[in-house]
Amino acid sequence: MAEVKTTYDFDQMLSNAREAYGEELMRMADDGLDFVFTYTDNVAPSSSAGRFAAKYPDRCFNFGIAEPNQVGASCGLALSGMVVYAQVFGPFLSLRSADQIHTDIAYNDVNVRLIGTHAGVTAGGGPTHNCIADLALYRAIPNLTVFVPADAGQCVKGIRRSFDFKGPMIIRIDRGGSPSVYADQSYEFEFGKAIETVSGNDLTIISAGSSVYWSMMGAKILRERHGVNARVIDMHTVKPMDYAMIDKCADETGVIVTVEEASINGGHGGGVAEYLMERGYNGKFKRVGLPDEFAVLGDPDEVYRYYGMDPEGVAKTVWELLHK
């Protein structure tokens, strides 16, 4: 496999997946791809998705604040033969529309791509608007593919690839700008195939979404301060997971740490742990994420530091695990 070029340059490599997905939908429509778009009132007219809806009003449907109705109608459009992209405010997608995701979208196995924005603690509305229980729900529903892009560029790759994908998909993205993981977009991408972003043989950090960058920065701290070479894996497809990659990392490094911006109960780390235990893994393992509580209120970066999910916290957890 060709070398993957990554970046640690926070200041120059910011990206915004919430804007990138709308820009890619515009390009896809301009290229002649036939799909429809449903959305809610949190899509501002000035946003990329808002501009797409203004340019292609005949294929866009605004459901206001009736998210369950939107998800159900998206299923109906898909059953009529359409490929449907549906942008929903993340907390209301996973919690308010759970029945429609389960019974309408997943049970009927339709070609709907549910784009859940403001994932994790990025909504700014506190515990009632934090989107942290979603991965546990999505993992338990049959037929769902769950894609958590590491940065805006990967989000664009996934949006484009999802057009020809068969079956329902969750695309989980955060609210605002996050550091880019990949310095260029020439790397190979395939749903269900994890990517090694940092090489190392002392341990493995497996993450998805914005936490891939935190993990890379944590690995950099470990290398520079302690001489520890941590491997970092971008498990962008949380369901189905790349079990072959987990096997490889468990066999070659013997220590596994997962990092996620979600509840550690039933989330990405839980999925890795379940698989490892059933295969007879007896190495060291630790989950980093939001604990079993309603998260404290604060700026996302402050919340990350509070729960040890930032690069310093990741490095500290790994170092302590290695010496436990």
Look at domain 14-179 and name its CATH class. alpha beta
For 21, phi then psi, to 5°, come to -65, -40
pTM for the predicted model, two decimal places: 0.92
Give yes or no for a contact between 274 and 264, defined as CB atoms under 8 angstroms apart. Answer: no
Going by their DSSP bridges, the two strands 195-198 and 230-234 should be labelled as antiparallel
Q: Which residues in the chain are classed under CATH 3.40.50.970?
A: 14-179
Q: State which H helix or E strand residue 39 sits in.
A: strand 36-39
Q: Give residue for tokens 């490095």.
A: 315
Tell me the per-residue pLDDT of 81-135, one tens digit each, with 9 for 90 and over.
999 999 998 888 999 999 999 999 999 999 999 999 888 888 777 788 888 899 9
Q: How far apart are CA 207 and CA 219, in angstroms?
A: 12
Topology (CATH level 3) of domain 195-322:
Rossmann fold (3.40.50)
| Residue among 212, 210, 260, 256 nearest 234 (CA) | 212
Q: Give residue for tokens 């290229």.
A: 31
Residue 178 pLDDT more than 80?
no
Is the previous residue joined to 240 through a cis bond, with omega within 30 degrees of 0? Answer: yes
Residues with catalytic function: 67
- Which distant-in-sequence residues (6+ apart) come within 8 Å of 299 by Cβ? none
Tell me the per-residue pLDDT of 239-295, one tens digit each, with 9 for 90 and over.
999 999 999 999 999 999 999 999 999 999 999 999 999 999 999 999 999 999 988
Burial class (CB in 10 A: 0-12, 13-18, 19+), 1: exposed
Q: Tokens representing 85?
A: 């992209």
Q: How far apart are CA 305 and CA 312, in angstroms?
A: 8
Q: Tokens representing 135?
A: 């991965």
**HEC assignment per residue over 106-145:** HHHCCCEEEEEECCECCCCCCCCCCECCHHHHHHHCCCCE
Give yes or no for a contact between 174 and 17, defined as CB atoms under 8 angstroms apart. Answer: yes
Give yes or no for a contact between 130 and 121, defined as CB atoms under 8 angstroms apart. Answer: yes
State residue 7's pLDDT score: 53
State residue 15's pLDDT score: 54
What are the strands of the beta sheet with 237-239, ordered from one edge?
60-62, 36-39, 84-89, 112-117, 169-172, 145-147, 237-239
| Residue among 112, 248, 229, 123 nearest 168 (CA) | 112
Helix residue spans in the chain (DSSP H): 17-30, 48-55, 67-79, 90-91, 98-99, 107-108, 134-140, 152-162, 211-226, 243-253, 268-278, 300-306, 311-322
Out of 107-116, 203-212, 230-239, 300-309, least confident range: 300-309
Coil, helix or strand at residue 196: strand
Q: Which residues in the chain are classed under CATH 3.40.50.920?
A: 195-322
State residue 290's pLDDT score: 94
Q: How far is CA 209 from the centre of its chain?
A: 4
Give yes or no for a contact between 207 and 304, defined as CB atoms under 8 angstroms apart. Answer: no
Half-sphere exposure of 213 (CA within 13 A, CB side): 24
